């Protein structure tokens, strides 16, 4: 059985460049955990910004709610 993958998409509010990561459930737990918001740093302009999980990865946000 294939493991579920989650795509996290974020966009920098400063320069607009977007970033997309594909992570497994274990990686999601390790990297973000069950949080509504998380911090990102833009690889282009180094701007630090906060992303909402429900926007960046609705699927993971849903999983978090189920587990609550």
Binding residues for Zn ion, rule: CB under 5 A, are 12, 14-15, 42, 44-45, 47
Query: What are the angstrom distances between the C-alpha of 42 and each of 15, 54, 62, 64, 66?
Result: 9, 19, 25, 25, 30
CB-wise, 15 or 35, nearer to Zn ion? Answer: 15
CB-wise, 10 or 28, nearer to Zn ion? Answer: 10
Instruction: Tell whether the torsion through CA atoms of 57, 62, 63 and 68 is positive or negative.
Output: positive
Q: How far is the CB of 25 from Zn ion (least distance, A)?
A: 28
Q: How far is the CB of 35 from Zn ion (least distance, A)?
A: 22
């Amino acid at each position: 059985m294939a493991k579920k993958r989650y795509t996290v998409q974020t966009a920098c509010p400063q320069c607009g460049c977007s970033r997309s990561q594909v992570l497994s459930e274990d990686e999601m737990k390790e990297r973000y955990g069950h949080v509504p918001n998380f911090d990102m740093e833009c690889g282009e302009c180094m701007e630090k910004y906060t992303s909402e999980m429900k926007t960046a990865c609705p699927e993971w946000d849903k999983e978090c709610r189920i587990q609550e």
